[in-house]
Structure 1
Amino acid sequence: MSATAVEAPVEAPPPRKKKAIVMLALALALGGGGFASTYLGLWSPAALIGGSAKPDQGAAAATAVVFVDVPKIEMNIPGSRGRSLVLSAAIETDETHRAEVEHLMPRVLDAFTSFLSGIDPGAYDKRGVLEIIRSELVTRSRYVVGEEPVKDLLITEFLIR
Structure 2
Amino acid sequence: MSDTDIDEDQTKPAKSKKGLLVGVVGAALLGGGAYYAVNSGMVLAPAQEVAEEKPIIEETEMATFLPLTPILVSLGTGSANQLRFHAELEVEPTKYEAVENLMPRILDVLNGYLRAVDIGELKDPAALIKLRAQMLRRVQLVTGGGHVRDLLITEFVLT
> Which contiguous aligned blocks of 4+ residues in structure 1 show a shift greater than 6 angstroms?
none
1:123 corresponds to: 121
| Higher Rg | 2
Q: Is the 8 A contact 1:69 1:90 kept in 2?
A: yes
Consecutive unaligned residues in structure 1, runs of 5 or more: 1-30, 43-59
Identity of aligned residues (%): 28
Q: Give, in whole Å, the separation in 2 of the partners of 1:68 and 1:140.
A: 16
Kindly state the Cα deviation for residue 85 of structure 1 after the two structures are TM-superposed.
0.7
The one-letter amino acid of 2:120's match is: G
| Aligned length, in residue pairs | 112
The secondary structure found in structure 2 opposite 1:151 is strand
1-structure distance, mates of 2:113, 2:73:
12
Secondary structure of the equivalent of 1:138? helix
Q: Deviations over 1:9-52 (max 9, x none)?
A: xxxxxxxxxxxxxxxxxxxxxx934xx23xx237xxxxxxxxxx
User: Which residue in 1 is equivalent to 2:76?
Assistant: 78
- TM-score for the superposition, normalised by structure 1: 0.61
**In structure 1, what is the equivalent of residue 51 of structure 2?**
41
Uncovered stretches (5+) of structure 2, i.e. residues with no partner: 1-44, 53-59
The equivalent of 1:4 in structure 2 is none
Which amino acid is the alignment partner of residue 84 of structure 1? Q
Amino acid of the residue matched to residue 71 of structure 2? Answer: I
Shift in Å, 1:80: 6.1
**DSSP 3-state at the match of 1:108:** helix
Residue in 2 that maps onto 1:17:
none
The alpha-carbon deviation at position 122 of structure 1 amounts to 2.0
Of 66, 69, 85, 2:67 maps to 69
The Cα of 1:127 is off from its aligned counterpart by 3.2
Aligned partner of 1:32 among 22, 42, 46:
46
Measure how far apart 1:72 and its partner are: 0.6
Partner in structure 2 of residue 94 of structure 1: 92
C-alpha distance in 1 between matches for 2:114 and 2:126: 15
Which residues of 2 match residues 42-57 of structure 1 at below 5 A?
none
CA distance in 1, matches of 2:111, 2:69: 11
